[in-house]
Amino acid sequence: MGEAGDAFRLGQVLLSRDEIKRRVSEIAGEIEREYRGRELIVVGILKGASIFMADLVRCVGDSVDVRMDYMAVSSYGDASTSSGVVKIVKDMDTFAEDRNVIIVEDIMDTGLTLYYLRDIIMGRNPESFKTCVLLEKPDRKKIESEIDYRGFVIPDEFVVGYGLDYAGKWRHLPDIWRVVKE
């Protein structure tokens, strides 16, 4: 995003902590209804999905046997545009074979990261595989990659907060903000 040397600052709040909280608990309710009485491996994609995942799993009741795991991926190319080649930096520790797996992602932009992750996990023969994405930017989609649980559809603007960063900054903010050029 932007040219080297550009400075960015927080613009306006796009999604407030209350809106996020409501939507996260609705999604958790859907997951709970779907997986009641079963084991579920929830795999968060680091670092962006860490805060979303932590809130999400705490809203899923004990009728689901939730297990938490993480993956970290890096996309070749610059930090904010996906090149389509995704490298696993940290794999999940759990064996996915014959398990119910949900990948939790912060944002789907081009769709390439999710497409690639689906391919990898499906190759491990899970019992079921679903995707849960907090934010979707449909205008930037390059490849069809299905989202089973979606938080919000947002316009093509760079956002930070609630786990999302710009150059490592602003992940800890409780609301989701637009970033603007100074």
How many angstroms separate the Cα of 171 from the Cα of each of 17, 40, 94, 151, 181?
13, 27, 27, 18, 18
Does residue 151 interact with ligand 5GP by CB under 6 A?
no
Question: What is the distance between the alpha carbons of residues 21 and 55, in angstroms, rounded to a whole number?
Answer: 8
Contacts of 40 (CB under 8 A, 6+ apart): 31, 64, 65, 66, 67, 100, 101, 102
Does residue 131 interact with ligand 5GP by CB under 6 A?
no
| Sheet strand arrangement including 8-15 | 8-15, 176-181, 159-160
Q: Which of 109, 119, 148, 156 is catalytic?
A: 109
CB of 78 to ligand 5GP, least distance (A): 11
* Choice from 44, 82, 136, 149 touching ligand 5GP (CB under 6 A): 82
Window 41 to 70, contacts with ligand 5GP (CB under 6 A):
48
CB of 116 to ligand 5GP, least distance (A): 8
Does residue 134 interact with ligand 5GP by CB under 6 A?
no
CB nearer ligand 5GP, residue 64 or residue 132: 132
Among this protein's residues, is 109 annotated catalytic? Answer: yes
Q: Which residues are catalytic?
A: 109
